[in-house]
Structure 1
Amino acid sequence: MVKELTDKTFKEETAHGVTFTDFWATWCGPCRMQGPVVEKLAEEMGDKVSFGKVDVDANQQTAAELGIMSIPTMIIKKDGAIVDTIIGYHSKEQLEAKLNQYV
Protein backbone atom coordinates (compact mmCIF):
# COMPACT_ATOMS: atom_id res chain seq x y z
CA MET A 1 0.00 0.00 0.00
CA VAL A 2 1.20 3.50 -0.84
CA LYS A 3 0.23 6.07 1.82
CA GLU A 4 -0.71 9.64 0.98
CA LEU A 5 1.77 11.81 2.91
CA THR A 6 1.39 15.52 3.68
CA ASP A 7 3.56 18.35 4.97
CA LYS A 8 2.30 17.42 8.46
CA THR A 9 2.92 13.65 8.25
CA PHE A 10 6.03 13.34 6.03
CA LYS A 11 8.75 13.58 8.70
CA GLU A 12 7.01 11.24 11.13
CA GLU A 13 6.10 8.67 8.48
CA THR A 14 9.64 8.56 7.06
CA ALA A 15 11.58 8.58 10.35
CA HIS A 16 12.06 4.82 10.84
CA GLY A 17 13.25 1.94 8.69
CA VAL A 18 13.53 2.15 4.92
CA THR A 19 11.00 4.47 3.29
CA PHE A 20 10.32 5.28 -0.36
CA THR A 21 8.46 8.50 -1.16
CA ASP A 22 7.21 9.46 -4.61
CA PHE A 23 6.84 13.24 -5.13
CA TRP A 24 4.32 13.83 -7.91
CA ALA A 25 1.48 16.02 -9.26
CA THR A 26 -1.76 15.18 -11.05
CA TRP A 27 -0.81 17.24 -14.15
CA CYS A 28 2.55 15.47 -14.59
CA GLY A 29 2.49 12.81 -17.35
CA PRO A 30 5.65 10.95 -16.26
CA CYS A 31 4.29 10.98 -12.68
CA ARG A 32 1.11 9.25 -13.83
CA MET A 33 3.27 6.60 -15.55
CA GLN A 34 5.42 6.18 -12.41
CA GLY A 35 2.45 5.73 -10.05
CA PRO A 36 1.47 2.18 -11.08
CA VAL A 37 5.14 1.11 -10.94
CA VAL A 38 5.39 2.36 -7.35
CA GLU A 39 2.08 0.62 -6.48
CA LYS A 40 3.42 -2.68 -7.83
CA LEU A 41 6.67 -2.27 -5.87
CA ALA A 42 4.66 -1.56 -2.71
CA GLU A 43 2.74 -4.82 -3.22
CA GLU A 44 5.96 -6.80 -3.58
CA MET A 45 8.24 -5.03 -1.06
CA GLY A 46 5.75 -3.59 1.43
CA ASP A 47 6.96 -5.94 4.17
CA LYS A 48 10.48 -4.42 3.99
CA VAL A 49 9.86 -0.84 2.84
CA SER A 50 7.21 1.79 3.70
CA PHE A 51 5.87 3.47 0.57
CA GLY A 52 4.35 6.94 0.41
CA LYS A 53 3.55 9.67 -2.06
CA VAL A 54 3.41 13.43 -1.74
CA ASP A 55 1.38 15.66 -4.06
CA VAL A 56 3.76 18.61 -4.52
CA ASP A 57 0.93 21.02 -5.38
CA ALA A 58 -0.88 20.33 -2.10
CA ASN A 59 2.29 19.97 0.00
CA GLN A 60 4.71 22.61 -1.23
CA GLN A 61 6.54 23.02 2.09
CA THR A 62 8.02 19.50 2.12
CA ALA A 63 9.00 19.69 -1.55
CA ALA A 64 10.68 23.07 -0.97
CA GLU A 65 12.54 21.87 2.14
CA LEU A 66 13.92 18.93 0.18
CA GLY A 67 14.85 21.07 -2.83
CA ILE A 68 12.64 19.13 -5.24
CA MET A 69 12.69 20.98 -8.55
CA SER A 70 11.60 18.22 -10.97
CA ILE A 71 8.95 15.54 -10.72
CA PRO A 72 8.66 12.68 -10.45
CA THR A 73 11.33 12.64 -7.75
CA MET A 74 11.57 9.66 -5.45
CA ILE A 75 13.44 9.76 -2.16
CA ILE A 76 14.69 6.75 -0.24
CA LYS A 77 15.31 7.30 3.46
CA LYS A 78 16.80 4.95 6.01
CA ASP A 79 16.02 5.72 9.66
CA GLY A 80 15.07 9.28 8.73
CA ALA A 81 18.17 10.11 6.66
CA ILE A 82 18.01 10.52 2.87
CA VAL A 83 20.18 7.82 1.28
CA ASP A 84 19.10 8.16 -2.36
CA THR A 85 17.25 10.55 -4.67
CA ILE A 86 15.87 9.35 -8.00
CA ILE A 87 14.64 11.88 -10.56
CA GLY A 88 12.46 11.05 -13.57
CA TYR A 89 10.61 7.93 -14.65
CA HIS A 90 12.28 4.62 -13.75
CA SER A 91 11.24 1.01 -14.34
CA LYS A 92 10.19 -1.32 -11.55
CA GLU A 93 13.45 -3.24 -11.95
CA GLN A 94 15.55 -0.08 -11.63
CA LEU A 95 13.73 1.04 -8.49
CA GLU A 96 13.81 -2.45 -6.98
CA ALA A 97 17.58 -2.61 -7.49
CA LYS A 98 17.98 0.76 -5.72
CA LEU A 99 15.79 -0.30 -2.80
CA ASN A 100 17.57 -3.64 -2.39
CA GLN A 101 20.75 -1.72 -1.54
CA TYR A 102 19.10 -0.47 1.66
CA VAL A 103 16.91 -3.34 2.93
Structure 2
Amino acid sequence: MPTKPVTDASFAEDVLQADKPVLVDFWADWCGPCKMIGPALEEIADELADKVEIAKMDIMANTSVPSEIGVQSIPLLVLFKDGKPVAQKLGAAPKSQLKGWLESVL
Protein backbone atom coordinates (compact mmCIF):
# COMPACT_ATOMS: atom_id res chain seq x y z
CA MET A 1 0.00 0.00 0.00
CA PRO A 2 1.62 3.28 -1.09
CA THR A 3 1.95 6.35 1.08
CA LYS A 4 -1.20 8.41 1.41
CA PRO A 5 -1.35 12.18 0.90
CA VAL A 6 -3.06 14.02 3.76
CA THR A 7 -4.16 17.63 3.99
CA ASP A 8 -5.10 20.06 6.73
CA ALA A 9 -8.73 19.15 5.98
CA SER A 10 -8.26 15.35 6.07
CA PHE A 11 -5.69 15.18 8.89
CA ALA A 12 -8.12 14.57 11.77
CA GLU A 13 -9.89 11.73 9.96
CA ASP A 14 -6.86 10.19 8.21
CA VAL A 15 -4.38 10.45 11.08
CA LEU A 16 -5.93 11.27 14.45
CA GLN A 17 -8.91 8.91 14.05
CA ALA A 18 -7.06 6.13 12.24
CA ASP A 19 -7.48 2.61 13.62
CA LYS A 20 -3.74 1.90 13.46
CA PRO A 21 -0.60 3.99 13.96
CA VAL A 22 0.12 6.55 11.23
CA LEU A 23 3.57 7.87 10.37
CA VAL A 24 3.29 11.35 8.85
CA ASP A 25 6.09 12.57 6.60
CA PHE A 26 6.10 16.38 6.59
CA TRP A 27 7.82 17.43 3.35
CA ALA A 28 8.03 20.04 0.58
CA ASP A 29 8.84 20.01 -3.14
CA TRP A 30 11.96 22.14 -2.70
CA CYS A 31 13.41 19.86 0.01
CA GLY A 32 16.16 17.60 -1.36
CA PRO A 33 16.39 15.28 1.67
CA CYS A 34 12.58 14.87 1.55
CA LYS A 35 12.85 13.60 -2.02
CA MET A 36 15.69 11.26 -0.99
CA ILE A 37 13.61 9.43 1.63
CA GLY A 38 10.42 9.32 -0.47
CA PRO A 39 11.17 6.01 -2.24
CA ALA A 40 12.31 4.40 1.04
CA LEU A 41 9.06 5.42 2.73
CA GLU A 42 7.07 3.93 -0.17
CA GLU A 43 8.88 0.60 0.32
CA ILE A 44 8.43 0.69 4.10
CA ALA A 45 4.72 1.47 3.59
CA ASP A 46 4.46 -1.80 1.64
CA GLU A 47 6.58 -3.85 4.03
CA LEU A 48 4.83 -2.69 7.22
CA ALA A 49 1.34 -2.21 5.77
CA ASP A 50 -0.23 -4.47 8.41
CA LYS A 51 1.29 -2.44 11.30
CA VAL A 52 1.34 1.19 10.22
CA GLU A 53 0.04 3.57 7.59
CA ILE A 54 2.44 6.11 6.11
CA ALA A 55 1.05 9.49 5.15
CA LYS A 56 2.69 12.48 3.50
CA MET A 57 1.83 16.12 4.14
CA ASP A 58 3.12 18.89 1.86
CA ILE A 59 3.86 21.74 4.27
CA MET A 60 3.64 24.35 1.52
CA ALA A 61 0.09 23.35 0.56
CA ASN A 62 -0.99 22.69 4.16
CA THR A 63 0.10 25.15 6.83
CA SER A 64 -2.34 24.68 9.74
CA VAL A 65 -1.36 21.20 10.96
CA PRO A 66 2.42 21.72 10.59
CA SER A 67 2.22 24.96 12.59
CA GLU A 68 0.03 23.35 15.28
CA ILE A 69 2.51 20.49 15.63
CA GLY A 70 5.48 22.85 15.51
CA VAL A 71 7.17 21.60 12.36
CA GLN A 72 10.27 23.78 11.93
CA SER A 73 12.57 21.60 9.84
CA ILE A 74 11.87 18.93 7.25
CA PRO A 75 11.83 16.10 6.50
CA LEU A 76 10.12 15.44 9.80
CA LEU A 77 8.55 12.04 10.49
CA VAL A 78 5.97 11.99 13.28
CA LEU A 79 4.33 8.77 14.47
CA PHE A 80 0.77 9.15 15.73
CA LYS A 81 -0.88 6.47 17.88
CA ASP A 82 -4.45 6.85 19.16
CA GLY A 83 -4.52 10.45 17.92
CA LYS A 84 -1.34 11.55 19.72
CA PRO A 85 2.22 12.10 18.50
CA VAL A 86 4.36 9.46 20.23
CA ALA A 87 7.70 9.67 18.38
CA GLN A 88 9.46 11.78 15.82
CA LYS A 89 12.57 11.67 13.64
CA LEU A 90 14.11 14.68 11.94
CA GLY A 91 16.15 14.54 8.75
CA ALA A 92 16.90 12.04 6.05
CA ALA A 93 18.33 8.59 6.78
CA PRO A 94 18.88 5.37 4.83
CA LYS A 95 15.90 3.04 4.50
CA SER A 96 17.34 0.52 6.97
CA GLN A 97 17.63 3.23 9.65
CA LEU A 98 14.16 4.63 8.95
CA LYS A 99 12.59 1.18 9.11
CA GLY A 100 14.55 0.19 12.22
CA TRP A 101 13.51 3.41 13.99
CA LEU A 102 9.86 2.94 13.01
CA GLU A 103 9.78 -0.69 14.14
CA SER A 104 11.34 0.31 17.47
CA VAL A 105 8.64 2.89 18.21
CA LEU A 106 5.61 0.96 16.94
TM-score interval (norm. to shorter): over 0.9
Q: Secondary structure of the residue that 1:53 maps to in structure 2?
A: strand
| Gaps in structure 2 of 5+ consecutive residues | none
Q: Call closer, same or farther: CA 1:68–1:31 in 2, change over 3 Å.
A: same
TM-score by length of 2: 0.90
Q: Which amino acid aligns with 1:8?
A: A
Number of aligned positions between the proteins? 103
- TM-score w.r.t. the length of structure 1 is 0.93
Question: Which one-letter code corresponds to 1:12 in the other structure?
Answer: E
Unmatched tracts of structure 1, length 5 or more:
none
Quick check: 1:87 aligned with 2:90? Answer: yes
- CA offsets, 1:23-60, max 9 Å, x none? 00001111110111111101111121011000000001
The aligned counterpart of 1:11 is: 12
Identity value in percent: 40
Segments of 4+ in structure 1 off by > 4 A? none
Does 1:57 find its partner at 2:60? yes
Q: Does structure 2 retain, via aligned residues, the 8 Å contact 1:14–1:80?
A: yes
Amino acid at match of 2:28: A
CA contact under 8 A between 1:78 and 1:102: conserved in structure 2? no
Amino acid at match of 1:60: T
1:101 offset after TM fit, Å?
2.7
Aligned equivalents of 2:74, 2:87: Cα separation in 1: 15
Which structure shows the higher strand fraction?
Answer: 1
Alpha carbon RMSD of aligned pairs, Å? 1.1
